[in-house]
Amino acid sequence: LGLLEKLMKTVLIIEDNDNNMELISFILESSGYQCIKAETGQKGIDLAIEKLPDFILLDVQLPDIDGLAVLKKIRASKADGKTPIIAMTSHAMAGDREALLTRGCNGYIEKPIDPGRVMEQIQEILKEMK
Amino acid sequence: MSILVVDDDDNSRVMLTNLLEGSGFSVIHASDGKEAWEKVKLSRPELIITDILMPRMDGYSLCQKIKGDSGLKNIPVILYSATYVSKESMELAHSMGGTSFVVKPQHPKVLLAAIQQVMKEHSEGNFSSLQKTDEDLDKMHFKVLSDKLQERVDGLEKLNHALQEKNDELVEEWTQELVESEEKYRDLYDHSPELLLSVDGETERITECNETLLRVLGYTKEEVIGRVWFDLYHPNSVEPARSAFNRLLVTGEIRGIELQVIKKGGEKIDVMLDASRGINKTTGKKYTRSVWFDITERKKAEQALLDAKQALETANNRLQELDRLKTLFISSMSHEFRTPLNSIIGFTGILAMEMVGKLEPKQKDFLGRIKQSSIHLLALVNDIIDISKIEAGKFETFNSNFLLGTVIDEAVKQVETLRNEKGLELRVDVPDNIQVINDRKRVSQCILNYLGNAIKYTEKGWISISARQLDGNAEVVVEDTGIGVSEDDLPKLFRQFVRLDSPLRMKEMGTGLGLYLTKKMASEILGGTVGAESQLGVGSKFYLSIPTNRQSNKYGMKVGSPGESDENCINH
């Protein structure tokens, strides 16, 4: 992907933890992405439908609505049914991860996020979709 | 010729009559002197044979009357007696004008001879008659009678004496028996293993109790007899005992009432009361017979059991609370411990990558150390969480169908950087057709741990991974040319927090939980086994064997396939 293409891309990050949000958005912005930030599941669903981002990074442990439900709702909306969604899971969420994949999640990156590898991981998932 | 037979005894009379009639005499008879006198006057027999002792008029009087009568005095009279055999008796008979005297019982021949003798003398005109005046005769008669009476009295006295002696003998014998019997039953009563007592139904006072009761309760007999029964009960037992007592008087029997009785010193004992009601035959008064079974020991045991049960319940509650705390701990570990670590690792990474600015070499080095330590800490936290979950039975596991080769490839890729850094050769011998239905993620975790260890503890040479299918199992072997483990240390390998002494081990960071978790995971989650072979300084060989089709394991865990629904999540 060229720099120009990257500049045009927007990513919706749904993440309640402030540190994680700062970390992942910093890495993505450093790579030229425009980040839309949602701190709750509900806000994430709304922004996904409203802003139509190029892809979505979804934390599966949210305080209001759990990741699976957010995924379901976004997938169910006509406006944004096909947006790539990448889950961010932790070690403990092994079970959820399998469930996420069978429910229309396109891939996952594992926490802790490795700043040196995370962009590569994301690109790989997006490439596989095409 | 007619003969009058006089006898009050029917048998004697009939016998004599038969004898005489058989000898050709005609016989008339009378059963006493008075009747004979009437018959003599009427029929004037030619001979009279009379008994002496008879009611109304005896033989002597009859003889005297006949001999005193001028018209009848020539009729011969034979006196015939079994009892009047004294000299005086015979003399009186003679004096009365008795012709002859025969002692009973006499042979018939003798009697007949006597009759014939009398008849002969009579025919010769030899009549017997009264020999004395009536007054003398009466005196003699009285004397004979009184002698006879005296004789009878003596006889009776003798008999009486004998009876008295016999009676005394019997009384003594019976008394002895009675005493023995009384002793026997008294012994049974007094030394019965149970506590026995009787109570008067009206006065409610104790009338009797046994030695066992006195011994157990520590009272003297005087302290118990005469007391009202409820004095012996513990205050708490008086009311139920009272209602049992009233019921006993009505129904006649009570059983199995558990009460408490007080000893003399105030100590209480537990008893079970059985009682029956008796009714005195002569007075008609009611009384009770009670048995107290000492059940103190049983009660103590019951109480101990109850206490133990209580303690167990308390302990169980505590355990449940601890279990709840453990689960709480696991879930907070899962999230709260990891989130800040993720931030530390992430931001350290950004800084180390110089994404926010150029760094001095020392700064970069130190940031690398911070990141490495954070990753180590995170690994430790993850292992602890996994182990805790397995031990708490809260481990989530999912079945999926996968190729073992694919999982091995992924694992090999993950450790590639590390392996290359050390310049270790990799040997892979894995068939690409081993199909496995098991928890993919956890199989991968076990293999990764083996590979990670192999690289960690091998400085030069090669590491290898191979796999094969054996019956229903898939076996993975990871081998290295590393530092190895001594024979003594080998059995310790799969224990928790075991880090063996060696310079290389000190250098490498590990959790001390890796192999322990692998073993736990393999056996309790995957349903398989682990093993190791090693030679110090030569290398190690680690085995993992898992079922290729995990339906359920020995813990009765149900296994679903992933992703179908949320319920597929298995809490293990």
- Neighbouring C-beta atoms of residue B335, cutoff 10 Å: 13
Q: Which of B153-167, B374-388, B448-462 has the lowest mean pLDDT?
A: B374-388
Question: What chain A residue is nearest to B353 in terms of C-alpha separation?
Answer: A116
pLDDT of residue B375: 87
Asked if the Cβ–Cβ distance from B346 to A101 is below 8 Å, we say no
- Name the residue among B213, B190, B232 with its Cα closest to residue B245: B232
Give B339's contacts in chain A (Cβ within 8 Å): 17, 19-20
Asked if the Cβ–Cβ distance from B343 to A68 is below 8 Å, we say no
Q: Which pLDDT band holds residue B419 (cuts at 50, 70, 90)?
A: very high
Q: What percent of chain B has pLDDT over 90?
A: 46
For A37-60, how does the pLDDT look when each residue is reduced to its tens digit (9 = 90+)?
A: 999 999 999 999 888 899 999 998
Collapsing DSSP to helix, strand or coil, B526 comes out as coil
Instruction: Identify the sign of the CA torsion B307, B309, B312, B314.
Output: negative
- Report yes or no: A95 at the B interface, CB cutoff 8 Å: yes
pLDDT higher than threshold 90 for residue B450: yes
More confident residue, B563 or B276: B276
Q: Which pLDDT band holds residue A6 (cuts at 50, 70, 90)?
A: low
- Report yes or no: A29 at the B interface, CB cutoff 8 Å: no
Cis peptide leading into residue B562 (ω within 30°): no
- Report yes or no: A114 at the B interface, CB cutoff 8 Å: yes
Give A95's contacts in chain B (Cβ within 8 Å): 396-398, 562, 569
Give A110's contacts in chain B (Cβ within 8 Å): none
Q: Which pLDDT band holds residue B557 (cuts at 50, 70, 90)?
A: very low
Residue of A111, A117, A118, A121 to mutate when probing chain B, most B C-beta within 10 A: A111
Q: Which pLDDT band holds residue B383 (cuts at 50, 70, 90)?
A: confident
CB A56 within 8 A of CB A73: no
- Neighbouring C-beta atoms of residue B122, cutoff 10 Å: 17
Mean pLDDT of A5-22: 85
pLDDT higher than threshold 70 for residue B506: no
- Residue among B334, B342, B398 whose CB faces A113 most closely: B342
CB B437 within 8 A of CB B550: yes
CA dihedral in degrees (B12, B14, B19, B25; nearest 10)? 120
For B206-229, how does the pLDDT look when each residue is reduced to its tens digit (9 = 90+)?
A: 999 999 999 999 999 999 999 999
- Report yes or no: A124 at the B interface, CB cutoff 8 Å: no
ipTM of the complex: 0.83
Q: Which pLDDT band holds residue B200 (cuts at 50, 70, 90)?
A: very high
Mean pLDDT of B63-71: 84
pLDDT of residue A81: 65
More confident residue, B215 or A128: B215
Report how far Cα B207 is from the mean position of its chain's Cα atoms.
31
Beta-sheet strand order (sheet of B268-279): B206-209, B195-200, B286-294, B268-279, B253-262
- Name the residue among B426, B532, B539 with its Cα closest to residue B480: B539
* Shortest Cα–Cα distance, A101 to chain B (Å): 8
- Residue among B343, B353, B569 whose CB faces A95 most closely: B569
Query: Where is mean pLDDT largest: B55-59, B342-346, B551-555?
Result: B342-346
pLDDT higher than threshold 60 for residue B263: yes
The DSSP letter of residue B507 is: H
B50: amino acid identity, one letter: T
Question: What chain A residue is nearest to B570 in terms of C-alpha separation?
Answer: A95
Report the run of H or E that residue B475 belongs to, with start and end.
Answer: strand B473-480
* Shortest Cα–Cα distance, B344 to chain A (Å): 9
CA dist A45 and A70 (Å) reads 6
Give A60's contacts in chain B (Cβ within 8 Å): none
Taking 3-state DSSP, the helix, strand and coil percentages for chain A, each rounded to the nearest 5, stand at 50, 20, 30
Q: Which pLDDT band holds residue B558 (cuts at 50, 70, 90)?
A: very low
Report how far Cα B181 is from the mean position of its chain's Cα atoms.
30
CB B239 within 8 A of CB B245: no
CA dist A130 and B9 (Å) reads 154
For A92-125, how does the pLDDT look when each residue is reduced to its tens digit (9 = 90+)?
A: 555 666 778 888 889 889 888 888 889 999 999 9
Asked if the Cβ–Cβ distance from B339 to A101 is below 8 Å, we say no
